[in-house]
Structure 1
Amino acid sequence: MTRALFPLHHVRPVLVPMLCIALIGFFAWHAFAGESGLMAWGDYKAERARLAAQAEATARQRSDLEQKVALLGDRAEPDYAEELVRKRLGLVREDEIIVRLQD
């Protein structure tokens, strides 16, 4: 004849609907304000537009460089061409470190 401290028969009918509501709320919140939600969509569109503009500018720069290389001709020395590109355009490779010395 012991009584339970908190009778579960009052909680059981409400437990499953409450868990379902909590789960639906969780997914609804993340669909709206999550990392890939509706609020982040505008940021993604702006980032995409910025990257597209950057890609277009890079493609134009590459086209200009290819055109300048074509003007050098077939007899141009590759080392001399690289030196010209480095001096006149200020371009370096990705893995190079620039050390500026004062004259």
Structure 2
Amino acid sequence: MLASIGRGLRSAVLPVLFLAASGYFIWHAVHGERGLIASEQRLQLLADARADLDRARTELEGWERRVQGMRGDRLDRDQLDERARQLLNFVGKDELVIPYGPERRLF
């Protein structure tokens, strides 16, 4: 009887080791550092980074258009000075301020 149990255990050792090794590798293939879940997370991070890059490029193009409008013959310095003073609420010491009503705003 003991001999048959010993033979049964010896014959079960190899399949149990194989199943344990297979389980180890399968678990790491899914959950490991380079597994399926980590791969999905990296792809999501990459998509987020590309979206951020696209937003930054769009903002850069907007700023480049604004700067391009301030170069060369296209720039009217009087209008630029007037607009800067209006936005920043600056006025010269020798200038007269005439307030407009809300319905007659210049800008």
TM-score (norm 2): 0.44
Greater length-normalized contact order (CA 8 Å, ≥ 6 residues apart): 1
